Amino acid sequence: MSLHGGSSGAPPAVGNAISYGGNGVSADTSRAVAIVSSQRLRLTPNKDHQPDTYDDLQSYFSPSIFSSLEGHMPPSMLGVARDDKVKFMQEILLKYLPPKIVKGHGEYKQKIISNYQPLHRELYSMNPTSFFVPSFLKAINDNTEQSFRSIMSEPHPGIFTFEMFHPHFCELLISEVENFEKWVNETKFQIMRPNTMNSYGAVLDDFGLETMLEKLMENFIRPISKVFFTEVGGATLDSHHGFVVEYGKDRDADLGFHVDDSEVTLNVCLGKQFSGGELFFRGMRCDKHVNTGTHSEEIFDYCHVPGRAVLHRGRHRHGARATISGHRINLLLWCRSSVYREMKKYQKDFSTWCGECNREKKEKQRASIAAMKLELFRREGESTA
């Protein structure tokens, strides 16, 4: 039984992102995996059922939560292996508790950091000359729109791509993630996946890379976003969610159509060898228009190149096609702006970048011009009559 939508059927919603129904019509804004009706929780717990013990469980949530939640599980779930029960329950719990806000996240992270032995310590503090290719570094140091433009291509409006990481950095980061995964498997530590759309991958912030990624956002992504994404808070990016996703055999296959819970998303392919896995973009949309149709001029597909970054607005609808062969690992940095989010609450007409808002606005203008012309024509007719 699969609790995840996986590659078939409707993709489950993302931790913080919004995911679409399989037909692309209905928006599912829930925070976690879609649970099919047969797997619904019972309103009253089964009192005859003796729950498993979870005291030894290394999890983000306390053992007592699992014991009490177990009685509420659907009857068909009561007899399955403890690991499967844990998985099922964690997904429900995560649905209501955004990971970074929830109390206890600090302890969870601390537990990992004090037990996990990093393989490449040099990754844990920002070292621009060994992380980035010289062209990227120079553009950042020059810090002008012209210098950014000189290393970037904008193959589609609002989507920027550029050479970013050194191949050696990519290799180290991949091997660090693999080492972390190995540790997770050996210790049976119940880690939280980056979001519920991905069953593989890891939150880099949770195992010690938070400070480095904070610098990456502040000193490298914010200056670029300030120029290209001002209207979505590009200049005031102040928090991030950094993670890797893995695709291929024994990993996730593809990623459903969705928007990110970010103002600006950095997506860098780290490797390795793979075919398929193209990103498909389908226009930027505000909350209100997130499920509207795509227009031909909004269609854009992008093939990942290891080391190369893609930078786009979080509200630029996208997904990833199946990785057909090999193994693909991407670094994702969701950058957010509290200032922008706060302002968005109070101001109307905030979505100048939304394809549909723009279309509506143009349509209104066209209609009013047409009405005006008609009126002039009528008056002319009257005066000549």
Binding residues (CB under 5 A) for Zn ion: these are 286, 289, 351, 354, 356-357
Q: Which is nearer to Zn ion, 57 or 357 (CB)?
A: 357
Q: Which is nearer to Zn ion, 282 or 304 (CB)?
A: 282
Beta carbons within 8 Å of 8's beta carbon, 6+ residues apart:
none
User: Do residues 351 and 314 make contact, with C-beta atoms less than 8 angstroms apart?
Assistant: no
Q: Which is nearer to Zn ion, 242 or 355 (CB)?
A: 355
Of 177, 157, 138, the closest CA to residue 271 belongs to: 177
Q: Which is nearer to Zn ion, 286 or 331 (CB)?
A: 286
Closest separation in Å from C-beta 73 to Zn ion: 40
Task: Using alpha carbons, list the distances in angstroms from residue 315 to 55, 168, 268, 287.
Answer: 41, 32, 18, 9
Min dist CB 356 to Zn ion, Å, is: 5
User: Do 279 and 267 meet the contact criterion of CB atoms below 8 Å apart?
Assistant: yes
User: Burial level of 385, CB count in 10 A (0-12/13-18/19+)?
Assistant: exposed
Q: Which is nearer to Zn ion, 213 or 286 (CB)?
A: 286
Least distance to Zn ion, CB of residue 283, Å: 10
Residue 288: CB minimum distance to Zn ion, A: 5
Q: CB of residue 336 vs Zn ion: minimum separation in angstroms?
A: 20
Cα–Cα distance, 175 to 170 (Å, whole number): 9
Residue placing its CB nearer to Zn ion in the complex, 268 or 354: 354
Report how many helices (DSSP H) and strands (DSSP E) the chain contains, helices first: 12, 14
Least separation in angstroms between CB 334 and Zn ion:
21
CA–CA dist 383, 385 (Å, integer): 6
